[in-house]
Structure 1
Amino acid sequence: MPALLPAIPTARAAGAADTAASPADIPASARAVPLSSVRLLPSVYADAVQANQAYLLRLSADRFLHNYHRFAGLPTKGAIYGGWESDTIAGEGLGHYLSALSLMYAQTGTPALKPRIHYIVAELARVQQAQGDGYVAGFMRKRKDGTVVDGKQIFPEIMRGEIRSAGFDLNGCWVPLYNWHKVFAGLFDAQTYAGNDRALQVAVGLGGYIDKVFAALNDEQVQQVLACEHGGINESFAELYARTRDPRWLALAQRLYHNKVLVPLTQGRDELANLHSNTQIPKLIGLARLHELTGRHSDAEAVNFFWQRVTRHHSYVIGGNGDREYFSAPDSIAAHITEQTCEACCSYNMLKMTRHLYSWAPDAAYFDYYERTHLNHILAHQNPRTGMFTYMTPLMSGVAREFSSEDNDFWCCVLSGMESHAKHGDSIYWENGDTLFVNLYIPSTVEWKAAAAKLELNTGYPFEGDIDLKVRHLAGRRPFTLALRIPAWAGKYTLLVNGKPHAGSTSKGYAIIRRRWRAGDTVRLSLPLELRLEAAAGNDHVVALLRGPMVLAADLGAASQPFSGLAPALVGADILGAFSEQDKGRAVYRSVGTGRPGDMKFAPFFSQYERRAAVYFNAYTEAEWAQSEVAFRKEEARLKDLAARSVDVMHLGEMQPERDHDLQSDISYPVTYRGRTGRDARTGGYFSFRLKCTDGPLTLQASYWGEERNRDFYILVDGERIARVKLDANHAGAFFDEEYAVPERLTRGKTGVVVRFEPEPGHTAGPVFGVRLFTQKLISS
């Protein structure tokens, strides 16, 4: 992304007084106008809210409550949902659902939502009473014998110091503290947006149970527990302190400080490469909340530094981050344009973090990032026709978005999606004293209580550049300030007040209008929506096309049809000048003479829900294309052939692929090296997983780092050894692949096989950086 972002601002200390704006400046801090004061007018954002509300009303609270009732010894009232809700992370969905209902109630005021909120809180209070010790949860625990039981069983073990934490698993339970963070958030949102004070009582009871668990641990043991993904559990206790002012919760929030990740950030070190993105972001949001409560500057510095690094050095053109959920090295986006980019939860959380930072020191550049991500990633993450959500938003050319099912997935990104699309009005308007900031140009009305005014924003933006703001209601004449965000990409703009040119003043990316207003006054801001190219970090020859805030993508055909072409490229001396406008109102363009293998239609990326798209393009002059075309096509063909021959692929060391392939292991650890994740098994251990298979000759391919030494292990397929592998600096300075023939008798008539890696006694198996199962080669090399 270009350098459009603010310098690190000085965060406002806790309790600092708000300051009024002068005609030439803006306030030093801001707060969002309450969501309940904003109503959306017809737009793509309102469509997303409507589709999401319909989905929320189709869902069943009792099905989300299934495990809560069951483990408390109460009768269940609905069958448990499928997908993740039937896995050991069960129960997370309820917290998100409660938040989504509460946010949606504030956003729309729909009466049918509020009874559901109160019902869920009442049922959680009943569960808590039945448990008798404050405990409330729906997550489960998988024992070593494979049986699945109540997740509550892990906590007596943990309190005794028996802590087995490995990334996403804590004593056989999938991320229980992360799960609780979502439950706390749902309870807090029920209180904030639906006025349910009983929700806070449930949160206090649950906090008491968790506090007893951590009170039994020393500081080293706390860090062991925090090695497992824990979401923003520090934020949960910071917020509990903010609502109760009980210092017990502040002390616990500060103790839940993950040293391994947070200390380097506080010291200004970017060590994010190979870290799981969404595991880290909520920890920083927790630090932001702690800073607001305590004024501790080191917390603000860590949040600022993290945000600056992620948005400037680790983000794609649509604002998302992560390849297969992990950060790569800084400024290496061009090398990570894959089918597994941009987990939606990461953007959901980065937008939350942006709101904190903006509130401390308003600067329009924060909302340049916010708008980019909100428009191009969050909107792309929901299919408004069905109300379903993506997990990843793929940026590899020709890869279709995969959307969730109605009631049999409930991935984390489905659940955060329920929230994201319940609150599209929450960041349009911000305020301080008699200044109203307008940060997002989304058609809406706002009841601005500070000025006893009602304003209406109408626009076709981002498809059109004219933005109209009208004072609908105001008693008499009243002085106040409007601060309108001027995006950094906009260049020249025009501003009219009551139809006449207005110069105004500017500060921190805002056009400032200070005057005595009256009902009927109008403002028109006109922004130029010009095409531009933006290079991907790491390679100036890899570019994306934007128009104003909107990423445009080439339409490569219907998602229902396979994509068999090569990734397209753009070639010419003036690529940008060769685009022809086809439909200005829908932002549709066409390349003219520059597309390879042919010219393409470009349309807004977010809107291509059911299309295959290309976002990034290799860009060449004619001379460069002539030199590279042969190699380009050969590499594309190789990758296409590789994908076509793969019966199944296993990304070792990564959370979701390992769960999807039923990874089993003992004395085995995930590893990351040189941007690649993998897994090893130490002496006496093993790891295994299930791969899909077909009849016929198959080849198993495993990837290794070429400088491993003294590795000696076996590869087994359905219990039979097919290879013995010895690694001893076989390929210095590079990763390499080895292929192993799989006897046809081991796959004949089967749809899947178990692949197992086990070390020779006294040695280590791997690390293995990925496994593929191939059919015979389809094309020659």
Structure 2
Amino acid sequence: MRKISATVLILSLFPIAMFAQSVYPGQHRNKITKHLRGDVKVYSFDLKDVRLLPSAFRDNMERDSKWLMSLDVNRLLHSFRNTAGVFSSKEGGYMTIKKLGGWESLDCDLRGHTTGHIMSALSYLYASTGDERYKIKSDSIVNGLAEVQYALTKVGQNGFISAFPENFINRNIAGQSIWAPWYTLHKIYAGLIDQYLYCGNEKALDIMTKAASWAYQKLMPLTEEQRATMLRNEFGGTNEAFYNLYAITGNPEHLKLAEFFYHNAVLDPLAERKSDLYFKHANTFIPKLIGEARNYELNADKRSKDVATFFWDEVVNHQTYCTGGNSHKEKFIHTDKVSENLTGYTQETCNSNNMLKLTRHLFSWDANPKYADFYERALYNHILGQQDPQTGMVAYFLPLLPGSYKVYSTAENSFWCCVGTGFENHAKYGEAIYYHNNTNLYVNLFIPSELTWNEKGVKLKQETVFPESDLVKLTVQTAKSQKFALNLRYPYWASGVQVKINGKAVKVKQVPSSYIVIDRTWKNGDQIIIKYPMSLHLAEANDNVDKAAVMYGPLVLAGMMGTEGMQQPAPFSDPTAYNDYYTYDYKVPLNLKTAIRIDKSNLNKSIQPVIGNPLVFKAEEGVELAPISRIHHQRYVVYWDLIKNAER
């Protein structure tokens, strides 16, 4: 464990600046003293300051909301109450509660994690919409957890809060077999903190501070050997949660807890710029780096900054598929071996969720457009398409095996980790559209939305049907003229971007993967029209130039290959009976087409748009391609074997 400097301990006696708006916006910031020691160049806006307008993103959010609101609070609290012995089977109503299945069943070590995710998701929805229904349901969950914590305190488990018994932690410390108890606690802790920040729930913070007191008493007496043994088990972002709590309270115990979860075996090699990630569990790794990012922001630890940045570069540049996702069977692959790992078990959605969280941290430090480019890629191609538009259910993997298809959860009998992060993904689309500092406003994503910039008294309305159209219109609303620089992202995939202000063309000197900066005094009603020309291009596998995906702008296009041989009824119709997603057989037809003829020098000759069907294209072989995010309930091919013209 790293030692804490005397300077940090002194600073920790005062409330420190918490969740810089950079990554953790919150409506409750009036009770937080802003004081970041790490350099932060730009900040995101509070979710309450961004309202989504009609689009595929808002559609996803509304389906997510419907699912969340359908889950009864008593069912979500059942395993917590069962563990705490709050009531017995003789009490009225207990036996009538229908138990949740899958990873929330009473015999699953991870039970309770979903309730944590749901607290976070409800808080995001409340901030994003202002709809009191989300706060009312949130309050009910928090009140139930407070009762459970009180009951456990009465039997000597002061502050412990969980849906599993404390003995799970004892087994973890002893190195005995157990499935990730601290990972589960992290989800609960993060949910409580989000409830405080976004819903203003003081009781949630009280539960969390008591939980931290329990953790401090539990962990501080451990030897270094015990600590190292315990950290071998997946613990999610527990370090991040305690850094965030410390940022709220300034309590040095909370900082020590965050430092306690520094995983030397994983992070020390990265600090030495060693990047052997092969076969490491990806979603075990990524949250550790998010915690390091928070440490840099709060304590100006340059080593933490360097580790987080190095890790991001290694994963994005050497481990990532064209869609922005990573991993095979949840593990990192050999460096630069994409074409050898196109299986039915690629791209765990939790990984993309956490990579986007890490990306937001890194972007806030220097506003480098490469981070925004990656964010857009993973958001449009993986996260947006995780959800089934028919049912609102979500996929665990985004498989890249040619001829595979997305496999979705069920409403009450799955609750995989990617269901939990899925609840969050589709509730917080407003978090990365806009960024700002005192003199600059950044437009990073082209998502229909309305922004309120309170510090400037400015509103910005973004209207677009992107990516169906390459036009984006921004309208400024302000009671008085305001001077600031508007930074419009010039994406890596665009060229010849055009900008008009109030109908007058603006000369664009910038190049792709940069920002078009317009510094002027803005008046009420000013309009900015931006044209982002999109074109076809290839995303070649990093180890085989003859295996590639077709892209249009930021969108990965996949071949739509029909439903022949797909299992009926839908796979995982009963995940409690069948959960073997590592060996799931997609029964790909032997005659499935996996090669297309491409003229690399002129893609428009080989692939042409289908008139009257936006974003659908046809290759020479008659294969139709569409954005991977829009392909559901049928087989697809993403990476193709390329047939060159010379092979005709």
What range is the shorter-chain TM-score in? 0.7 to 0.9
Cα offset for 1:567? 4.2
Provide the C-alpha distance between the structure 2 equivalents of 1:39 and 1:155, rounded to a whole number of angstroms: 41
Cα offset for 1:201? 0.8
Matched, 1:501 2:505: yes
Of 98, 111, 130 in structure 2, the residue corresponding to residue 79 of structure 1 is 98
> CA-to-partner distance for each residue in 1:681-703, whole Å, 9 max, x for gaps?
xxxxxxxxxxxxxxxxxxxxxxx
Partner in structure 2 of residue 551 of structure 1: 556
Matched, 1:36 2:32: no
Provide the C-alpha distance between the structure 1 equivalents of 2:598 and 2:101, rounded to a whole number of angstroms: 51
- Alignment gaps of 5+ in structure 1: 1-10, 19-27, 141-150, 165-170, 626-781
Cα offset for 1:426? 1.0
Tell whether the 8 Å contact from 1:61 to 1:94 is kept in structure 2 after alignment.
no
Of 231, 236, 255 in structure 1, the residue corresponding to residue 236 of structure 2 is 231
Write the letter of the residue equivalent to 2:330: E
Provide the C-alpha distance between the structure 1 equivalents of 2:160 and 2:306, rounded to a whole number of angstroms: 35
Greater radius of gyration (CA): 1
Provide the C-alpha distance between the structure 2 equivalents of 1:431 and 1:188, rounded to a whole number of angstroms: 24
Partner in structure 2 of residue 319 of structure 1: 324
For residues 681-696 of structure 1, the aligned pairs below 5 Å read: none
Provide the C-alpha distance between the structure 2 equivalents of 1:455 and 1:559, rounded to a whole number of angstroms: 48
For residues 246-265 of structure 1, the aligned pairs below 5 Å read: 246-265=251-270
Provide the C-alpha distance between the structure 2 equivalents of 1:567 and 1:358, rounded to a whole number of angstroms: 40
Partner in structure 1 of residue 546 of structure 2: 541
Matched, 1:111 2:129: no
Partner in structure 1 of residue 481 of structure 2: 477
Cα offset for 1:463? 1.9
Partner in structure 2 of residue 747 of structure 1: none
Change (3 A) 1:530 1:156: closer
Write the letter of the residue equivalent to 1:103: Y
Cα offset for 1:218? 1.0
For residues 593-632 of structure 1, the aligned pairs below 5 Å read: 595=621, 599-623=622-646
For residues 358-377 of structure 1, the aligned pairs below 5 Å read: 358-377=363-382
Tell whether the 8 Å contact from 1:65 to 1:138 is kept in structure 2 after alignment.
no
For residues 370-769 of structure 1, the aligned pairs below 5 Å read: 370-471=375-476, 473-503=477-507, 506=510, 509-558=514-563, 561=566, 563-564=588-589, 565-574=591-600, 576=603, 577-583=605-611, 586-592=614-620, 595=621, 599-623=622-646
Write the letter of the residue equivalent to 1:241: Y
Partner in structure 2 of residue 211 of structure 1: 216
Q: Which is richer in helix?
A: 2
Matched, 1:96 2:117: yes
Provide the C-alpha distance between the structure 2 equivalents of 1:486 and 1:462, rounded to a whole number of angstroms: 15
Of 149, 157, 177 in structure 2, the residue corresponding to residue 128 of structure 1 is 149
Matched, 1:284 2:284: no
Change (3 A) 1:287 1:532: same
Provide the C-alpha distance between the structure 2 equivalents of 1:572 and 1:433, rounded to a whole number of angstroms: 48
Q: Secondary structure at the match of 1:331?
A: coil
Q: Secondary structure at the match of 1:490?
A: coil
> CA-to-partner distance for each residue in 1:316-346, whole Å, 9 max, x for gaps?
0100000111101111011101110100000
Q: Secondary structure at the match of 1:325?
A: coil
Provide the C-alpha distance between the structure 1 equivalents of 2:368 and 2:171, rounded to a whole number of angstroms: 48
Matched, 1:152 2:166: yes
Tell whether the 8 Å contact from 1:92 to 1:138 is kept in structure 2 after alignment.
no
Matched, 1:53 2:65: yes
- How high is the sequence identity, in percent, across the aligned residues? 36
* Number of residue pairs matched by the alignment: 581
Provide the C-alpha distance between the structure 2 equivalents of 1:312 and 1:621, rounded to a whole number of angstroms: 26
Provide the C-alpha distance between the structure 2 equivalents of 1:573 and 1:119, rounded to a whole number of angstroms: 60
Tell whether the 8 Å contact from 1:231 to 1:279 is kept in structure 2 after alignment.
yes
TM-score scaled by length of structure 1: 0.72
> CA-to-partner distance for each residue in 1:96-147, whole Å, 9 max, x for gaps?
011011111111222211111111111111111111133444444xxxxxxx
Provide the C-alpha distance between the structure 2 equivalents of 1:361 and 1:85, rounded to a whole number of angstroms: 40
Q: Secondary structure at the match of 2:401?
A: coil
Q: Secondary structure at the match of 1:426?
A: helix
Of 164, 167, 174 in structure 2, the residue corresponding to residue 163 of structure 1 is 174
- Alignment gaps of 5+ in structure 2: 1-21, 24-33, 89-93, 568-587
Change (3 A) 1:425 1:156: closer
Provide the C-alpha distance between the structure 2 equivalents of 1:294 and 1:427, rounded to a whole number of angstroms: 24
Tell whether the 8 Å contact from 1:91 to 1:137 is kept in structure 2 after alignment.
no
Q: Secondary structure at the match of 1:260?
A: helix
Partner in structure 2 of residue 683 of structure 1: none
* Higher RCO structure, 1 or 2 (CA under 8 Å, sep 6+): 2
Write the letter of the residue equivalent to 2:187: K
Tell whether the 8 Å contact from 1:278 to 1:325 is kept in structure 2 after alignment.
yes
For residues 286-301 of structure 1, the aligned pairs below 5 Å read: 286-301=291-306
Write the letter of the residue equivalent to 2:592: L
Q: Secondary structure at the match of 1:293?
A: helix
Cα offset for 1:578? 1.2
Write the letter of the residue equivalent to 1:529: M
> CA-to-partner distance for each residue in 1:333-380, whole Å, 9 max, x for gaps?
111011101000000000000000011110111110000000000011
Provide the C-alpha distance between the structure 2 equivalents of 1:537 and 1:552, rounded to a whole number of angstroms: 18
Provide the C-alpha distance between the structure 1 equivalents of 2:73 and 2:180, rounded to a whole number of angstroms: 22
Cα offset for 1:537? 1.2
Cα offset for 1:66? 0.9
